Every structure is written in structure tokens, then in C-alpha cells.
């Protein structure tokens, strides 16, 4: 009965935190619409091997996300025939983001069942803390490759440690299959990180043969059976695949700033702390306690018989952070695979405190309350930050600030009571659910208007339902990829000399008409509308004279 209640609670939390609002706002940034469009083109061609974008090979990422999105589109097309908004039925924001939500839910299930085997009594905390982490919730709502990698990598690492304790070959087989799926999600980074974590763990524990025993021939065969066929097939069809994917998008991306994502070495430290909110305090305290133990007991704290699990989790956290900190190209999603280890470590720390019947100090209660309040404040303030990156203090802030402040006070007051240990999880979940609900229900229109290309595409279709050419001038790649998805056709760029000879729609920054008119002398330009949230304007450009 207890297990059924816990599973029902997990299903409810995952259902709301991962699946609610998947289509509340349009696809964001350059990656979401790009990945969604690649999956659509593969499905339309019936091609499960070669990713393409606008009909050209797009070999930056392996296919796992594309395959998942293709299945999502296909099921939706079957269930919802006809038209749906801007796109053909089945191809929508919800369907594009559904793989991330499903992968996140499967990862939570794996955490619950593996931790129940490894450390009974901690499984519910570990699963719910992971579910309610800001980074996990955010990427569960994203059409990207980060959550498929994180989910498969998490299953792989948990299965490996379960094998180390039980020596069951089934666990080692799951490790290799999950690692193969991680390789299909984002490439060789999955086995590379796993190898580094296992090797360092073996070295720290002086278990010199554990790495050798991990190299199980049937497991390696399983890995190759799952991962290798696509890599061989795509290389045969696209001879440039090895150069583009391995040399450019793995080695060059790691060793140079060729893709223009430079950040300082310490970039991932604040990113990781933000990703683990609002449980950051307990993760930091768990690390601090472990460091104190190591300092006090030296070698015995690492190689002792009962300390291998915390050590394994710490290495799982530290290795990806250090690895990607050394990379010359940094994006926040890269270290997402380390977050589940941090949340499980926090759950272990809280369980140990409960066993000792340790109360929560006023300072810790207040700090945790403030972290929860910070997420609520961010959700309530999202429209202001969306419309202005440097918002000033306005009268409306008098109505916003008291809400997170009351949450902080209520949470802190609850945690310092005798029941504080038992109430930590419920009050935190309440704050998280409130934040996500506010963000999706009330802030989505502002996010959509300022960050997505969906309103731009809707404005274009309001003037022309026919698939007329669309050109861009000085608007960047984010609107370009977004419009490619929402209009389901390639846009052209004045900046690259792609000026359509026929009449077309033109998207340009506000007050840019004199500049782009100089590029099309003699052609009639008509102002259509403005998009003030994006500081853009839409024009109709007549056909080239003489055509």
C-alpha cells in the first residue's frame, strides 16, 4: 500500500511538473525549432537515418531525440487528423517537447526503483527532489537532446552501481544498453563520462579490478548492437558525417570556441547551483559534511566499507562539471547529467539527518525558504524580465514581492518546528508547484511574445495564407530557425545576399527601412505591421522590376 501511494504521488508530481504547459508558449531559442524541424523533415521523408534541415544534411547531433519526436508527431497525426494552428496536424510545440517530458518521467522511475534497491527508505525523497529541481523541470519542457542524454546516463550509472553491489549481470546489461542510448542521444560524451567516473571511483576505493570486470564482453556487444548500426548507416549515406559530427561538433567544440559559446572556467558552478534549486542548500551541506569527514578521517572516509555510495555520487557530480568546465564551448544544458546525482546525494543527507533526529536550524530553514521564494519571485517577475532585460522597480512590484516573502516566512516557520523534518518535502513541493503553475498560466503570453517566433509567424499568416517567400534582414538566427519551423519552409536572408526576385514578406528591425531599401532599389516596399515586443517590423516587398 505504501509503494502504491508513493508511486501515485510520483505520477501526480511528474504529470504536473513535466507535462503541464508543454505548448503554453512557442519554441524558444534557435535549438528547439531547429531540432523540431529536423524531426518533421525526417518523418515526412520516412527517413530514420539522415537528419536534414531545409532539405540539407544536418549532422550535428545523433538521432535519439529526432526518433522520439517523429513517433510523437506520428501518433498525434493519427489521433488528430487535419490542421492544427500554424502547422500540419501532429507537428506542434507539445509534440516536439513531449520526448523531454517522457524521458524525465522515466528517469524519475529509474531513480525510485534503483534507489529503493540500493538504499531502502531514501527512494521517495530521491525521486521527488529530482522531480522538483529547477534544471530538471526546465529541460523536461524543452525540445532538446539534453534530457534524453541525462535520462539514459542516469539509468546507466545507477545500473552500474547496482551491479557493483549485487553482481547481477542484468544490471550490467542495463548499464550498457542505457549507455548506448546516451551515445545515440548526444554522442561519445556518455561513455567518456561514465568511464571517467568509474575509473576514479575504482582508484579512490582501491578496487583495482572493478574497471576490468566492467568490461564485460556481452555488455560491449549489446552496446554495439544498439548504438553502432545508426552510426554506420549515416556514415555510408553521408560521407561528411565523421568530419562534421566527430571532428567539428565534438572535438573542435570542446577544444576551441568555434561555435561562439565562450564562458569563464567557473561558469558551471553558479549554473549548477541554480539547476539544483530549491534543494541547493541541502546538496551543499551534504558535500560540506563529506569534506569534513574526509578531512577528519583521511583515507578511511573514502575507502571505508560504508561510504562508497556517497563517494560514487560525488564523483558523478564532479566529473561532468570539471569535464565541461575544461571545454572552450559552454552551454547550461551540458552539465544536466550531473544534477540527478546531486539530488540523490541531498536525499541521502536528509535521510541521515532524520535517522539522527537532527532538527533544522533557523538559519537553514530561512535559507531554504528564501531559495523557494526566489523561484516564486522569478515566476511572478517573468513578464517584466521578458519585456525588459533590465527592469526597473515599478508600482506593480509592491504586489509581487509580498507573495514570495510570505512563502519564505511560512516555509521557515514550518521547518523550525518539531515536525520540520517531515514537512520539508511537502512545503517545498507546494512552492515548486505554485511557481510552475504561475509561470505556465500567467507568464506564458509574455514569454511567447518576446522569446518565440510563433507570434511572428502568426502575423505573417495574417497577411498571406499562401506560402510566399519570406526574407530576413538583421534579425539573427533565432527568428530564422523559428520561422523555418512555424512556416515549414526555409527563409532567406538579405544579409547573405539572398534577396528573392519575386514579391515577398520581409522581417526587419524597427526603423531599418532606409537601410534595407538601399539593397533593393526601385522595388516597392509597403509597411504592414510592427511587433513591438521583439522590436521588429513586417514589410511587403514587390517583385523585382523586369521580372
Q: In what order do the strands lie in the sheet with 536-541?
A: 492-493, 470-472, 504-509, 536-541, 525-531
Tell me which of 2-6, 83-87, 136-140, 261-265 is least confident: 83-87
Give the pLDDT confidence score for residue 467 in this predicted structure. 84
C-alpha cell at 353: 539527518
Measure the CA–CA gap between 427 and 422, rounded to whole angstroms: 10
Does residue 247 have a pLDDT over 90?
A: no
What's the angle, vertex CA 472, arms to CA 468 and CA 477, rounded to 5? Answer: 120
> Nearest-CA neighbor of 508 among 494, 487, 522?
494
Which pLDDT value is given to residue 3? 84
Measure CA 242 to chain center: 26
Q: Is 418 helix (H, G, I), strand (E, B) or coil?
A: coil
pLDDT at 301: 53
What do you get for the CA distance between the two ends of the chain, in Å?
76
With a cut of 80, say whether residue 261 has pLDDT above it: no
The grid cell for 110 is 529509474
Tell me the C-alpha to C-alpha distance, in Å, between residue 441 and each of 143, 257, 380, 546. Answer: 20, 38, 11, 52
| Separation CA 431–CA 425 (nearest Å) | 10
Query: Coil, strand or helix: which one is 509?
Result: strand
How high is the pLDDT of residue 410?
A: 94
Task: Give the integer Cα–Cα distance in Å for 106 and 400.
Answer: 36
pLDDT of residue 77: 85
What per-residue confidence (pLDDT) applies to 175? 98
- Tell me which range, 83-97, 177-191, 356-370, 468-482, is most confidently predicted by mean pLDDT: 177-191
Q: Do residues 54 and 240 lie in contact, with contact meaning Cβ atoms separated by under 8 Å?
A: no
Which tens digits make up the pLDDT trace of 501-542?
899 999 999 989 999 999 998 899 999 999 998 899 999 999
* Distance from C-alpha of 238 to C-alpha of 248, rounded to nearest angstrom: 15
Cα distance between residue 122 and residue 307, in whole Å: 16
Give the tens place of pLDDT for each residue, 330-385.
888 899 999 999 999 999 999 988 888 888 899 999 999 999 999 999 999 888 77
186: its cell numbers: 548526444
Contact 472, 479 (CB under 8 A): yes
Tell me what the mean pLDDT of segment 22-48 comes to.
93
Q: Has residue 316 got a pLDDT over 70?
A: yes
Average pLDDT of the chain is: 89
Write down the pLDDT at residue 394.
66
Contact 206, 303 (CB under 8 A): yes
SS3 content of the chain, % helix, strand, coil (to 5): 65, 5, 25
Is residue 88 pLDDT above 60, yes or no? Answer: no
Whole-angstrom distance, CA of residue 180 vs CA of residue 190: 8
Residue with cell 515549414: 488
Q: How confident is the model at residue 331, as a pLDDT?
A: 86
Alpha carbon 25 to its chain centroid, in Å, reads 16
**pLDDT mean over 107-113:** 97
* φ, ψ of residue 531 in degrees (nearest 5): -120, 80
54-70 per-position pLDDT tens digit: 989 999 899 999 999 99
Q: Which of 415, 302, 298, 399 is nearest to 350 (CA)?
A: 415
Task: Please list the residues that pair with 541 across neighbouring strands.
Answer: 504, 525
Work out the percent of the chain whose per-residue pLDDT is above 70.
92
pLDDT of residue 81: 63
Asked whether residue 256 carries a pLDDT value surpassing 70, the answer given is no
Grid cell of 232 as nine digits? 554506420
User: Do the bridges between strand 470-472 and strand 536-541 make them parallel or antiparallel, or are there none, so unpaired?
Assistant: unpaired
Q: Please give the grid coordinates belonging to residue 151.
A: 535520462
- Dihedral sign (CA 14, 15, 17, 22): positive
C-alpha span between 36 and 27 (Å, rounded): 9
Contact (CB, 8 A) for 485 and 33: yes
> What is the pLDDT at residue 243?
87
pLDDT tens across 416-458, in order?
Answer: 988 888 899 999 999 999 999 999 988 999 999 999 999 999 9
- In angstroms, rounded to a whole number, what is the distance separating the alpha carbons of residues 174 and 268? 30
Q: What is the spatial distance between Cα 161 and Cα 156, in angstroms, rounded to a whole number?
A: 9
CA distances from 366 to 122, 252, 348, 373, 414 (A): 24, 45, 21, 10, 10
Are residues 57 and 235 in contact, defined by beta-carbon separation less than 8 angstroms? no
Q: How far is CA 336 from CA 16, 35, 36, 138, 378, in A?
A: 21, 18, 20, 10, 21
pLDDT at residue 85 tops 50: no
Q: Is 545 helix (H, G, I), strand (E, B) or coil?
A: coil
Residue 390 is predicted with a pLDDT of 62
Radius of gyration of the chain (CA): 25
Residues 539-546, mean pLDDT to the nearest whole number: 83
pLDDT at 84 over 50: no
pLDDT of residue 399: 80
pLDDT score of 245: 86
- Residue 197 host element (H or E): helix 189-205
Of 162 and 400, the structure prediction assigns the larger pLDDT to 162
What's the pLDDT score for residue 305? 57
Lowest mean pLDDT among 81-85, 144-148, 371-375, 501-505: 81-85
State the pTM of this model. Answer: 0.92
Amino acid at each position: 500500500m505504501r509503494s502504491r501511494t508513493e508511486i501515485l504521488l510520483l505520477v501526480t508530481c511528474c504529470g504536473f511538473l513535466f507535462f503541464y504547459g508543454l505548448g503554453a508558449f512557442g519554441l524558444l531559442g534557435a535549438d528547439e525549432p531547429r531540432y523540431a524541424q529536423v524531426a518533421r523533415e525526417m518523418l515526412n521523408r520516412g527517413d530514420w537515418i539522415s537528419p536534414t534541415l531545409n532539405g540539407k544534411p544536418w549532422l550535428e547531433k545523433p538521432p535519439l531525440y529526432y526518433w522520439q519526436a517523429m513517433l510523437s508527431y506520428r501518433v498525434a497525426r493519427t489521433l488528430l487528423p487535419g490542421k492544427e494552428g500554424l502547422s500540419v496536424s501532429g507537428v506542434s510545440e507539445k509534440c516536439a517537447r513531449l520526448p523531454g517530458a517522457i524521458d524525465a518521467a522515466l528517469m524519475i522511475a529509474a531513480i525510485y526503483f534503483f534507489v529503493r534497491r540500493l538504499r531502502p527508505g531514501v527512494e521517495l525523497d530521491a525521486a521527488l527532489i529530482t522531480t522538483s529541481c529547477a534544471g530538471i523541470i526546465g529541460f523536461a519542457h524543452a525540445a532538446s537532446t539534453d534530457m534524453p542524454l541525462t535520462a539514459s546516463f542516469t539509468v546507466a550509472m545507477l545500473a552500474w552501481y547496482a551491479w557493483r553491489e549485487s553482481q547481477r549481470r542484468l544490471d550490467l546489461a542495463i548499464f550498457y544498453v542505457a549507455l548506448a542510448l546516451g551515445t545515440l542521444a548526444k554522442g561519445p560524451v556518455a561513455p567518456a563520462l561514465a568511464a571517467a567516473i568509474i575509473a576514479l571511483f575504482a582508484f579512490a576505493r582501491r578496487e583495482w579490478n572493478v574497471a576490468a570486470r566492467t568490461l564485460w564482453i556481452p555488455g560491449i556487444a549489446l552496446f554495439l548492437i544498439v548504438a553502432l548500426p545508426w552510426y554506420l548507416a549515416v556514415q555510408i549515406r553521408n560521407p561528411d558525417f565523421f568530419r562534421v559530427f566527430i571532428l567539428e561538433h565534438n572535438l573542435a567544440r570542446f577544444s576551441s570556441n568555434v561555435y561562439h559559446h565562450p564562458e569563464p572556467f567557473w561558469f558551471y558552478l553558479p549554473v549548477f547551483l541554480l539547476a539544483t534549486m530549491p534543494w541547493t542548500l541541502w546538496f551543499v551541506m551534504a558535500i560540506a559534511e563529506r569534506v569534513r569527514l574526509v578531512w577528519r578521517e583521511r583515507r578511511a572516509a573514502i575507502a571505508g566499507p560504508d561510504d562508497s555510495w556517497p563517494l560514487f555520487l560525488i564523483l558523478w557530480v564532479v566529473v561532468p562539471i570539471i569535464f565541461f568546465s575544461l571545454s572552450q564551448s559552454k552551454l547550461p544544458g551540458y552539465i544536466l547529467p550531473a544534477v540527478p546525482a546531486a539530488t540523490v546525494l541531498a536525499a541521502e543527507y536528509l535521510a541521515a539527518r532524520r535517522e539522527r533526529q537532527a532538527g533544522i536550524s533557523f538559519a537553514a530553514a530561512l535559507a531554504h525558504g528564501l531559495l523557494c521564494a526566489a523561484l516564486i519571485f522569478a515566476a511572478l517577475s517573468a513578464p517584466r524580465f521578458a519585456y525588459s532585460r533590465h527592469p526597473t522597480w515599478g508600482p506593480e512590484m509592491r504586489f509581487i514581492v509580498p507573495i514570495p516573502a510570505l512563502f519564505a516566512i511560512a516555509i521557515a516557520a514550518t521547518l523550525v518546528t518539531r515536525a520540520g523534518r517531515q514537512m520539508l518535502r511537502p512545503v517545498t513541493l507546494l512552492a515548486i508547484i505554485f511557481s510552475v503553475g504561475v509561470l505556465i498560466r500567467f507568464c506564458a503570453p509574455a514569454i511567447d511574445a518576446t522569446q518565440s517566433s510563433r507570434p511572428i509567424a502568426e502575423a505573417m499568416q495574417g497577411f498571406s495564407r499562401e506560402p510566399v517567400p519570406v526574407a530576413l534582414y538583421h534579425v539573427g538566427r533565432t527568428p530564422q530557425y523559428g520561422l523555418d519551423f512555424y512556416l515549414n519552409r526555409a527563409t532567406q536572408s538579405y544579409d547573405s545576399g539572398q534577396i528573392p526576385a519575386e514579391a515577398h514578406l520581409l522581417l526587419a528591425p524597427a526603423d531599418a527601412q532606409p537601410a534595407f531599401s538601399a539593397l533593393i532599389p526601385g522595388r516597392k516596399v509597403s509597411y504592414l505591421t510592427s511587433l513591438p515586443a521583439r522590436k521588429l517590423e513586417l514589410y511587403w516587398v514587390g517583385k523585382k522590376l523586369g521580372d
